[in-house]
Amino acid sequence: MKHLFVIAIVCSCVIEVRSVLCWRCSGKTCQRIVRFCPSDNTCQTTSITRSTGEINTTLIEQDCPQITQEVSFTSRLAFGSKSVKSCTGNQCNDETVADPSNRTENGLECYGCFASTSESCTKSEEKVKCVGQEDRCFYGSGTQSLASFGSSFFIKGCVTKNVCNGSANLNEFLVSLDAQTSCCQGNLCNVGSAGPLLCNRCSGKTCTPIPVLCPSSSRSCETVSLTQFIGNVTLRFTKETFNIVWTL
């Protein structure tokens, strides 16, 4: 009787684990293999499109379900889009080509530019029509290997909200935005400088300047010179930064 009781307890602890076979591949050609996925009978396909006006690239990724978000941006000479589709059943993610990006205009307009300097970006900006889920205008800077003009870049355009709140990024489009990127809501709200302000920062007698990125609310650099007389000694100090506030 004791042995029967132990067997009953062991059998009651057996839990059914559902699994599925999914296609797995990544890249332009997407040479697929079958992969065992310990998921809830679900497979996933991710389609990525990126373009600079010079080169259009479409990629497809197939795998077990991954934690990822759809994201999209549109600028004057560049755009990128990532869509995610899930399906149920063994090897259900059998697409051989990526889904086309959603280029349906949604009514929002932003200023758009994509260039190696802030000045050239602002000078070349044009109104661009936002598409799909792009519900924010933005401006920023960072590094990129999407276009051929160099690694540093400045950008203005349309973007999805998840890039603005930091839950998604543009890395899959060969674009890395810095932390000072700013977003806004409303037609053409991203007017002004294309990217964060860069100022020199220093303080003291010698004042050796160091370039720093200013907060997105700062729109000008400032220099303050202070002269102090102590007896027959004259002391001079210089301070360079953004939005200086002095308390005397």
CATH number of the CATH domain containing 111? 2.10.60.10
In a domain, 97, yes or no: yes
- Distance in angstroms (rounded) separating the CA atoms of residues 34 and 94: 11
Lowest-pLDDT choice from 51-55, 92-96, 157-161: 51-55
Query: What residue numbers bound the domain in which 172 lies?
Result: 21-184
Query: pLDDT for 55-95, tens place per residue?
Result: 888 999 999 998 889 999 999 989 999 999 999 999 999 98
Residues 76 and 32 in one domain: yes
Distance between CA 37 and CA 19 in Å, rounded? 6
Q: Quick one: pLDDT band at residue 242, thresholds 50, 70, 90?
A: very low
Q: Is 122 within 8 Å of 101 (Cβ atoms)?
A: no
Inside any domain, residue 7: no
Q: Are residues 174 and 204 in the same domain?
A: no
Q: What is the pLDDT of residue 112?
A: 97
The domain tally of the chain equals 2
Residue 248 counted as domain residue: no
230 and 161 co-located in one domain: no
More confident residue, 107 or 1: 107
How do residues 91-137 score in pLDDT, each as one tens digit? 999 988 888 889 999 999 999 999 988 889 989 999 999 999 999 99
Q: Output the average pLDDT for the chain.
A: 80
Same domain, 135 and 221: no
Instruction: Report if residue 79 sits inside a domain.
Output: yes
Which is higher by pLDDT, 49 or 224?
A: 49
**Does the structure show a pLDDT above 60 at 170?**
yes
Confidence label for 235 from pLDDT (cuts 50, 70 and 90): low
- 155 in a structural domain: yes
180 and 203 part of one domain: no
Find the mean pLDDT for residues 180-208. Answer: 77
Task: Give residue 142's Cα distance to chain centre.
Answer: 10
Which residues touch 231 (CB under 8 Å, ≥6 apart)?
Answer: none
Does the predicted TM-score (pTM) go above 0.85? no
pLDDT at site 132: 95
Amino acid 195: pLDDT: 53
Domain membership of residue 35 (yes or no) is: yes
Do 125 and 219 share a domain, yes or no? no
243 C-beta neighbours (distance < 10 Å), count = 14
Judge if 171 and 202 occupy the same domain: no
Tell me: pLDDT of 16 over 80. no
Q: Are residues 128 and 205 located together in one domain of the fold?
A: no
Domain shared by 48 and 110, yes or no: yes
Q: Which residue has the higher pLDDT, 185 or 18?
A: 185
* Residues 58 and 119 placed together within one structural domain of the fold: yes
Please tell me the predicted confidence (pLDDT) of residue 193. 61
Domain assignment present for residue 72? The answer is yes
Residues 95 and 204 in one domain: no
Give a yes or no: residue 2 inside a domain. Answer: no
Confidence bin at 234 (pLDDT 50/70/90): low
Average pLDDT over residues 174-181: 84
Same domain, 206 and 178: no
What letter would DSSP give residue 205?
S
